[in-house]
């Protein structure tokens, strides 16, 4: 199969879909190629048949009030609800409500984006060395756990400058608040799908791109689709695949070969942004058994009935959360960085086994009782998914403007979008991905308009 378009968009995640919708609305003929049999990328919403609730295998939370998501959902009258509950921590072997973030903030506020860049681990060794003071040592450990967990990052690699930029960006959108769309992130994908349908954007799923041959002003994208070999040509292409795919070896599934190769500056940018690792598992129980915990005899003790998050230093699943404000009987386990490395590539039964063991240690409920209550588990291994190869990106210490270099077009022919290309401090978020898609769409629309002007001028008769 061979077709032509004004723009080819590779990847139907949040960045690709937002860009395609904008390009289609601008009147360009857009062809979207997606390797998976579905659209959405690292947004992957299922519906639990028992609770009739959304289950997110990928992105779940709306962090703060970013206009890219809020405006989209408000126009469609989609209800957005805040996850406002109690934070609990396992401290010295005891479950208790905790002000986890205040201790972390005391450490993070000491970071200085004006000083020479360094890794977070180097920073914390300088500012908060190992201490015999229990509170100071605890704050240090929580800060390391937070940076690793929230950013799916290696604290020995992630840069202070990148972290500071992200914190400042979050402050502008109330990023410390957590929200969910009522029907899950699938509603965002449905909105983009409708916008694309209205502007005639074509989407080919199950089409794995393996090569991009290009010269200034012309691109030929080749791959294999449901009907066999597929080739699409256009003046421009927008590449929105996850960073992990761009970093894959040439012999790995899902790799895209460029001919000629990408410029060295672009290749350096791809190497200098890091793909974080994270594993999550969603467990549906017969009931919200944690509402009566912790199991102690004091009747006046607060229970976990309004628990939103549970933080710990568990080796496998250090963070858990609930479905608040909904009271569905789900607990979601989050395993970042080293924990994810140990779980990736394992089968689902192993992941579930480790998650149950973690809950046993954290909540004090026997493994036998937990399995008796457990009805179903949901899991997706993003690290071993050839079309993602990781969770989301973060900035390396000393990498400077790697995100900006990754986003920069090549000869107004190759364009790039995706959360890893965001330069506003919102890497690793859905709103960062959407913003990057819109930014790339604007670049392409301007380039297309300029190209048409040049073409028209070249056809004018000479006087």
Structure confidence at residue 132 (pLDDT): 72
Burial label for 101, CB within 10 Å (0-12, 13-18, 19+), is middle
Structure confidence at residue 138 (pLDDT): 85
- pLDDT exceeds cutoff 70 at 456: no
User: Could you give the residue ranges of the DSSP H alpha helices within 318-388?
Assistant: 337-343, 348-363, 367-373
CB 86, CB 359: distance < 8 Å: no
**What's the whole-number average pLDDT of the chain?**
93
26: confidence class by pLDDT, cuts 50, 70, 90: very high
Q: Once rounded to an integer, what is the mean pLDDT over residues 6-27?
A: 98
Which residues fall within 8 angstroms of residue 81, CB to CB, at 6 or more apart? Answer: 179, 180, 182, 325
Strand partners, 282: 332, 378
Q: How many CB atoms lie within 10 A of CB 38?
A: 12
**Domain regions of the chain by residue span:** 2-46+182-275+387-459, 80-181+278-343+346-379
- pLDDT exceeds cutoff 70 at 415: yes
Q: What percent of the chain stands above pLDDT 70?
A: 96
Separation between Cα atoms, residue 78 and residue 76, nearest integer Å:
5
CA torsion sign for 358, 361, 367, 369 is: negative
- pLDDT exceeds cutoff 60 at 463: no
Q: Once rounded to an integer, what is the mean pLDDT over residues 238-266?
A: 96
Separation between Cα atoms, residue 125 and residue 121, nearest integer Å:
6
pTM given for the model: 0.95
Structure confidence at residue 453 (pLDDT): 44
29: confidence class by pLDDT, cuts 50, 70, 90: very high
For the domain made up of 2-46+182-275+387-459, give the CATH fold: FAD/NAD(P)-binding domain (3.50.50)
Half-sphere exposure of 138 (CA within 13 A, CB side): 15
Tokens read off for 320: 């858990």
> Which tens digit of pLDDT belongs to each residue from 260-307?
999 999 999 999 999 999 999 999 999 999 999 997 555 557 899 999
323: confidence class by pLDDT, cuts 50, 70, 90: very high
- pLDDT exceeds cutoff 90 at 97: yes
Distances (CA, A) of 353 to 49, 247, 310, 316, 332: 23, 31, 19, 11, 14
Greater pLDDT, 141 or 196? 196
> Which tens digit of pLDDT belongs to each residue from 383-410?
999 999 999 999 999 998 999 999 999 9
Q: What percent of the chain stands above pLDDT 90?
A: 87
Half-sphere exposure of 450 (CA within 13 A, CB side): 10
Task: Specify the long-range contacts of residues 71-78, CB closer than 8 Å, at least 24 apart.
Answer: 72/188, 72/191, 72/434, 73/181, 73/187, 73/188, 73/191, 76/187, 76/191, 78/181, 78/182, 78/183, 78/187
Q: Once rounded to an integer, what is the mean pLDDT over residues 311-339?
A: 96
Q: Once rounded to an integer, what is the mean pLDDT over residues 186-194?
A: 98
Lowest mean pLDDT among 60-74, 136-150, 215-229, 345-359: 136-150
Structure confidence at residue 239 (pLDDT): 98
| CATH number, domain 80-181+278-343+346-379, options 3.90.660.10, 3.30.450.20, 3.30.70.20, 2.60.120.10 | 3.90.660.10
DSSP count for the chain of H helices, then E strands = 14, 24
Beta-sheet pairing, 62-63 with 178-181: antiparallel
Q: Once rounded to an integer, what is the mean pLDDT over residues 426-443?
A: 98
CB 343, CB 316: distance < 8 Å: yes
Rg value, the chain, Cα: 23
- pLDDT exceeds cutoff 50 at 109: yes
Longest dimension (CA), the chain: 97
- pLDDT exceeds cutoff 80 at 381: yes
């Amino acid at each position: 199969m061979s077709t032509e378009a004004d723009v080819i968009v590779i990847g139907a995640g949040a960045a690709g879909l937002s860009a395609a919708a904008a390009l289609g609305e601008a009147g360009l003929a857009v062809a979207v190629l997606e390797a998976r049999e579905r659209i959405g990328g690292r947004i992957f919403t299922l519906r639990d048949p028992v609770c009739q609730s959304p289950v997110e295998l990928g992105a779940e939370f709306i962090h703060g009030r970013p206009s890219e998501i809020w405006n989209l959902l408000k126009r469609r009258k989609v209800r957005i609800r805040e996850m406002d509950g109690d934070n609990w921590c396992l401290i010295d072997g005891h479950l208790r409500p905790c002000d986890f973030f205040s201790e972390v903030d005391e450490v993070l506020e000491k970071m200085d984006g004006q000083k020479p860049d360094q890794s977070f681990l180097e920073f914390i060794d300088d500012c908060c060395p190992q201490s015999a003071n229990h509170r100071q040592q605890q704050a240090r450990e929580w800060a390391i756990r937070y940076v690793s967990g929230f950013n799916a990052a290696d604290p020995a690699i992630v840069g202070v400058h990148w972290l500071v930029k992200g914190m400042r960006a979050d402050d502008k959108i109330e990023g410390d608040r957590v929200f969910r769309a009522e029907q899950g992130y699938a509603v965002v994908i449905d909105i983009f799908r409708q916008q694309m349908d209205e502007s005639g954007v074509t989407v080919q799923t199950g089409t794995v791109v393996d090569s991009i041959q290009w010269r200034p002003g012309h691109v030929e994208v080749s791959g294999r689709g449901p009907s066999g070999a597929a080739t699409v040509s256009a003046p421009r292409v927008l590449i929105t695949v996850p960073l992990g795919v761009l970093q894959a070896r040439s012999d790995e599934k899902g790799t895209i070969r460029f001919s000629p190769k990408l410029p060295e500056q672009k290749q350096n940018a791809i190497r200098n942004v890091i793909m974080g690792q994270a594993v999550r598992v969603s467990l549906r129980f017969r009931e919200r058994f944690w509402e009566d915990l912790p199991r102690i005899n004091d009747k006046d003790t607060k229970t976990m009935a309004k628990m939103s998050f549970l933080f710990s230093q568990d080796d496998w699943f250090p963070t858990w959360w609930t479905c608040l404000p909904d009271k569905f009987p789900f607990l979601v386990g989050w395993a970042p960085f080293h924990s994810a490395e140990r779980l990736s590539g394992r089968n689902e039964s192993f992941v579930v086994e480790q998650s149950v063991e973690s809950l046993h240690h954290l909540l004090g409920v026997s493994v036998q009782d937990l399995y008796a209550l457990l009805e179903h588990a949901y899991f997706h291994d993003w690290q071993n998914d050839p079309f993602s190869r990781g969770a989301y990106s973060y900035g390396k210490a000393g990498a400077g403007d790697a995100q900006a270099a990754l986003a920069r077009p090549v000869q107004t022919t190759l364009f790039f979008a995706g959360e890893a290309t965001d330069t506003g401090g919102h890497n690793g978020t859905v709103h960062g991905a959407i913003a990057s898609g819109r930014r790339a769409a604007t670049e392409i629309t301007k380039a297309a308009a300029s190209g048409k002007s040049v073409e028209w001028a070249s056809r004018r008769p000479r006087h």
